Amino acid sequence: MVLAASHGGKEGADDIAAVDFRGHPADKSKTGGWLAAGLILGTELAERICVMGISMNLVTYLVGVLNLPSAKSATIVTNVMGTLNLLGLLGGFLADAKLGRYLTVVIFATIAAVGVSLLTLATTIPSMKPPPCIGVRKQNHECIEASGKQLTLLFAALYTIAVGGGGIKSNVSGFGSDQFDITDPKEEKKMIFFFNRFYFFISIGSLFAVVVLVYVQDNIGRGWGFGISAGTMVIAVLVLLCGTPFYRFRRPQGSPLTVIWRVFILAWKKRSLPIPSQPSFLNGYHEAKVPHTEKFRFLDKAAILDENSSKDGTNPWIVSTVTQVEEVKMVIKLIPIWSTCILFWTIYSQMNTFTIEQATFMNRKVGSAVIPAGSLSAFLIITILLFTSLNEKLTVPLARKLTHNVQGLTSLQRVGIGLVFSIVAMAVSAIVERKRRENAVENHTTISAFWLVPQFFLVGAGEAFAYVGQLEFFIREAPERMKSMSTGLFLTTLSMGYFVSSLLVSIVDKVSHKRWFRSNLDKGKLDYFYWLLAVLGVLNFFLFLLLSMRHQYKVQHNIKPNEVEEKELVSANDVITGKEEA
């Protein structure tokens, strides 16, 4: 059975190298299509149920059950989510370089299943939890914080899930799209619908997690909630394995990351050599698929032909080509914009942490029912769905008419709009938190948790613009052979956003002498932190404007008028491909 085919085949052969599980050319009548794609969608559904069910309600467990400080709890959540997104690069690298997408998804889905099973144990075994607080936390009763030994199993479970989730994110949508042949017009149309259904499954899994699983965790038991997630992931792995004979497999072509570090290594080794007076003397200049540029000329040294390369000029570890060097330059040009996208996800991460914790101090009653704090994040998901739909059906067509631009809104314009939404969201969050605290301290009343809806709405609207804009930017502006890697680069903005949140919380907690973040939010100054994020957001936005005005878009192929709608649909669904690869 072929699970990871060896390297080989010329560039671009990936589209025609589909094989079955025995390594034979894939029979379209027996492999691929909706049956295979549907089985793969089950894995993504399970991944969403697990990750969302944990990330949106973990802070309430850390604060309310393990009695950890508010700042420490938020840092734990953001570190786990940051690691999960960062490990998407590892999953993508392994799939591209050696394992292939199928084997990578199977291995990492299994790891995720083990992680959720460990989490079920960590939240069920009584010895893994400290004694419950006596009295009510709001009345400032002392609580015993969970010890290091009690946290060991919890951390092992969370980071095991992060490893598994990262590997799934970076490969599952790509493996699903492998089940359709884009050279066949009929199958290409089916692939577009696959992306729609992929997005639908993501949304359904997320809503199920924040509405049903969060309720089970809060009202029936954490063990039951995480146990359902574990069972879902185990079933997904079994379904994925059972579908093996029906899948089409693509041969790994090698990771673009290898090309990048190889160019840097060769440029460093040849740093003492002078750059040729004419770029035509560089290796592969006349066959280059990307025009030579004068920027970052030090990298041109990787393509200098010296004594070693004259002996073995075909060895990529001896000399690079102009095409490879220019592709690396294109990746470097993405970094400035990449850096300004990070703060959006720092702001977004507050929806997983402090906003959920705020809800625990507010009135969540609807009639006789009490809404779990984590379930309020359903408003975030619903808003993202709403604005994603409105953008493609209303905003983009309107912008196209006003600007006479086929895209309507450029990718960087979308990112800019998303950044503005995030700034306003933090200002609103600060105002709401101040009102909540004043009512609790001065009037001894709790305001409705639905006061949090505006900040969920604003961040969700911001994500609908920023996520699409960022992903489109990294995909369109990256070299043609590095599309997968550029998606991984996009994932790192999410990862760094969570890590920056952890860093900011730690710094602010220390500088404020623990006055801003308190387990009892009524005694803290959380609104100050929100204002800090709003100010940082404004500074970041002006930096983004400066960098985006200086950025020169890569030349795209001309689009004929009668192709606009078709290209528009493909572009929108290219974005959906990566919707939860990030």
Per-residue pLDDT, 555: 59
Give residue-wise pLDDT tens across range 192-248: 667 656 767 777 888 888 889 988 998 898 889 999 999 999 999 999 999 999 998
DSSP state of 19: B
Question: Which residue positions in the chain have pLDDT lower than 70?
Answer: 1-17, 134-142, 189, 191-193, 195-197, 199, 309-313, 403-407, 480-485, 554-582
Asked if 178 contacts 127 with a C-beta cutoff of 8 angstroms, the reply is no
**Dihedrals phi, psi of 25, to nearest 5 degrees:** -50, 135
Long-range contacts for 510-514 (Cβ within 8 Å, ≥24 apart)?
Answer: 514/69, 514/71
pLDDT at 310: 62
Q: What is the pLDDT of residue 230?
A: 92
CATH for the stretch 21-138+145-254: 1.20.1250.20
- CATH, range 337-358+372-554: 1.20.1250.20
CB 161 within 8 A of CB 32: no
Q: Which residue, among 565, 536, 1, has the nearest Cα to 249 in the 3D structure?
A: 1
Residue 568 CA to its chain's centroid (Å): 23
**What separation, in Å, do the N-terminal and C-terminal C-alpha atoms of the chain show?**
31
**Percent of the residues in the chain that have a pLDDT greater than 70, as a whole number:** 86
- The predicted structure's pLDDT at residue 405: 65
Give the DSSP letter string of 438-506.
HIIIII----BGGGGHHHHHHHHHHHHHHHHHHHHHHHHHS-GGGHHHHHHHHHHHHHHHHHHHHHHHH
pLDDT of the residue at 25: 81
CA distances from residue 41 to 45, 65, 196, 241, 571 in whole angstroms, order as listed:
6, 34, 11, 13, 21
pTM, rounded to two decimals: 0.78
Which residues make up the CATH 1.20.1250.20 domain(s) of the chain? 21-138+145-254, 337-358+372-554
SS3 of 246-276:
HCCECCCCCCHHHHHHHHHHHHHHCCCCCCC
What pLDDT digit, counting tens, does each position of 315-366 carry? 788 888 888 898 899 888 889 999 999 999 999 999 988 999 899 999 998 8
The residue behind tokens 């990492």 is 108
Identify the DSSP state of 288: -
Q: Name the one residue in this structure whose structure tokens are 């299994």.
A: 110
Dihedral angle over CA of 13, 14, 18, 22, nearest 10: 90
Max intra-chain CA distance, the chain = 83
Directed axis angle between helix 33-55 and helix 148-169, to 10°? 150
CA distances from 62 to 54, 55, 336, 356, 494 (A): 11, 11, 36, 12, 22
Measured distance CA(303)–CA(285) in Å, rounded: 9
Closest-CA residue to 436 (of 368, 381, 360)? 360
The residues, ordered by sequence, that sit 6+ positions from 470 with a Cβ below 8 Å of its Cβ are 341, 411, 415, 418, 490, 493
Q: What is the pLDDT of residue 141?
A: 53
CA 363 centroid distance within chain = 32
| Per-residue tokens: 560 | 């004929």
User: How buried is 126 (Cβ within 10 angstroms: 0-12 exposed, 13-18 middle, 19+ buried)?
Assistant: exposed
pLDDT at position 14 is 41
